[in-house]
Each structure stands twice: as C-alpha cells, then as structure tokens.
Amino acid sequence: MPSLSVNIGGMILKNPVMTASGTFGYGEEYAEFIDLNRLGAVVVKGLSLKPKEGNPVPRIVETASGMLNAIGLQNIGVDRFILEKMPFLRRFDTKVICNFFGDSVDEYVHAADVLSRTDGVHALEMNVSCPNKQAGWCVFGTDPAVLHNVVTAVRKVCRIPLIVKLSPNVTSIAHMAKVAEGSGADAVSLINTITGMAIDIRSRRPLLANKIGGLSGPAIKPVAVRMVWEVFNAVKIPIVGMGGIMTAADALEFLIAGARGIAVGTANFVNPAATVEIVEALEQFLVDEQVNDVNELVGSLRL
C-alpha cells in the first residue's frame, strides 16, 4: 500500500484530500453521505468573531462549467461554532481546520486567538480575500503591506499551524505567497474564487444581488494549476491547491504542479462523495504507477 500521508506546516494528514471552506458547511451537512474519517482534513465554512448575515439573494448563479457565488461570508460566529459544531467534529479521526476572516486586523487576531486555543482545532486557514474596514474596504490579500501586517499580527497569537489562503485576484500571486511566508505562515492555500460577473440580457441586470461574485468549479482549474506552479517556484512552505478539482486526475495535476495537499470545493455540491472517491482513486493511481509515497509526486513536474 502506498503512503498517502502528508505534512502541511507541521500537521500530519492521513491523506492530502481536504474540503474547501464554504463548500462543506461545518462537516455535519455531509456526514450522512460520507465517512468524514476518510478525509485528510475538514476545512469549515469561514468564521468571524461575530455572526455574519451575508448577502441578499440571488447569491449563486451557474456559468459555463462553473458557478459564481456571493454568499457574503454568512456564518454563525466563532462562539456558536465552538459550542455547537466542535463537539460533533471532535468525534472524528480527521484534522479540523478552521477558516476565518475579519474586517479589521483586531478582529483577525481575536478570532485566531480564540480558535487556536480551542480543543480539537488542528490548524487555522486565514481567508484574506475580504475587505478591510480600516483601509477603505480594500481587500487584505491584494496589498502586500496590508497582507504582511495582518499575517504577522495573527502569527503572534496563533499557537497551531497557520495556513494563509491567497486570493487569485492579484497581479502576482507568487509575490503574495512570499509575503505570507515572510510574515510567518506555515503554509499557503490557493486559489480562492476569481471575481466574476453574469448579466441577464433581457432585464440588463446582474444575476447576483451583490452584482459581482466569486467563480469556482472546473472553469477555474487551469488558472489555479498555473498559480500553484508559480507559487511552488517562489516559496518553501507547503501549498494546499484547489480550484475546480472534480476528480483524482484533477487533484494529481495540482500535486505535480507543487501542491502537497488539495481541497475539493464545488465538486461536493455535484457529488457529495467526491472527496472520498478522490482519496480512493488517488491511492489506485499510486499503485498503478508504482509510486510508494504521494510526496514523490509533489512538484514533480517535468520540464
């Protein structure tokens, strides 16, 4: 049996397959479809210090081989999450990664502090694709100086592995990855959704109430693979790759490009068993190709 285990910034996962934040609820939603114990990690919906309402509807619209979403980071807040959702997640033999965000550096720090002290939370994933209240709502993850500030501040309070989730809506994602690495991140994950828009041609109105939204699904996979490869060439910390992964073959592209872990997002909606099927097919691929350890594939791109 080949080894599937990977080390993401000091956290050992039984296999490289995780769920992408916001596409898997708090784990419970899919527990009746799959055995969560089969996953490398469960990454929960983005959390903020206080509960957040989110955007008006329509929040989602399907586009060619993808979907746009503008959920607006609706979540139950850190306190309720710890009280109501963690007891369930602690029952499983899988890593729990809490995705979180804030609209100020203070909020990020406070949320990271509370979450990283919570029993059963193994790592934090910091979503920096959200607007900064103190800087004219400019997105944290698109300005290198702002990104450096917020990651440095969170690093000081975060006692567990810290993954910084990068936005693809930048000129050089490799540069942002370096900034995250230099600010103390243990790993980076990418990509978050690509900003997009869709219009109803008869009413001439945007199809999303929020006008713009984030594109995910197979449509973004080539962009994501390219970005993972660029980041792999720029940093030494491990990479969690995602964006349009539907099958093990898609996941393998990310691993070969340089990702040590991969996350499955939109595919869960189409097939609730997608993650487990990917774990199984990945293992079979290693057997067929006579690869003993999945780590041998990471960044094995031949040029």
Partner 1 sequence: MLTVQPLQPATFPVPGQFYMLQAGASYDPLLKRPFSYLSAENGSITFLYRIRGKGTRAIAALREKETISLIGPLGNAYPVPSGEFIAVAGGIGIASLFSLFGAATGRATLFWGGRTAGELLMTETVRGLVRTAVITTDDGSAGRKSLVTEPFREYLAVNAHLPVYVCGSTPMMKAVAALCSDAGARCFVSLEAYMACGVGACLGCVVKIRDSENHEGRFRSVCKDGPVFDASTVVWEGQ
Ligand X SMILES: Cc1cc2nc3c(=O)[nH]c(=O)nc-3n(C[C@H](O)[C@H](O)[C@H](O)COP(=O)(O)OP(=O)(O)OC[C@H]3O[C@@H](n4cnc5c(N)ncnc54)[C@H](O)[C@@H]3O)c2cc1C
Ligand Y SMILES: Cc1cc2nc3c(=O)[nH]c(=O)nc-3n(C[C@H](O)[C@H](O)[C@H](O)COP(=O)(O)O)c2cc1C
User: Given the rule CB under 6 A, which of 84-92, 175-183, 200-208, 262-270 is the region that contacts ligand Y?
Assistant: 262-270
174 versus 274: smaller Cβ distance to partner 1: 274
Closest by Cα among 111, 195, 202 to 158: 111
Q: Which is nearer to partner 1, 64 or 201 (CB)?
A: 64
Q: How far is the CB of 202 from ligand Y (least distance, A)?
A: 26
Cβ 272 to partner 1 shortest distance, Å: 6
Q: Is the dihedral of CA 9, 14, 19, 25 positive or negative?
A: negative
What is the number of residues in the chain? 303
Residue 242 within binding range of ligand Y, rule CB under 6 A: yes
- Report the residue from 15, 127, 167, 210 that binds ligand Y according to the rule CB under 6 A: 127
By CB under 8 A, residue 272 contacts partner 1 = yes
Among 9, 243, 258, 261, binds ligand Y (CB under 6 A): 243
Residue type present at position 2: P
Residues 139-178 touching partner 1, rule: CB under 8 A, are: none
Q: Which of 98, 130, 138, 158 is the catalytic position?
A: 130
158 given a catalytic annotation: no
Task: Decide: is 266 part of the binding site for partner 1 (CB under 8 A).
Answer: yes
Among 78, 220, 256, 274, binds ligand Y (CB under 6 A): 220
Q: Torsions phi, psi of 225, nearest 5?
A: -60, -45
Distance in angstroms (rounded) separating the CA atoms of residues 99 and 124: 6
Distance of alpha carbon 292 from alpha carbon 9, whole angstroms: 22
Question: 135: buried, middle or exposed (CB in 10 Å: 19+, 13-18, 0-12)?
Answer: middle
Give 57: exposed, middle or buried? Use CB within 10 Å, 0-12, 13-18, 19+.
exposed
Residues in touch with ligand Y (CB under 6 A)? 20-23, 45-46, 69, 71, 73, 99, 127, 165, 192-193, 216-217, 220, 242-245, 264-267
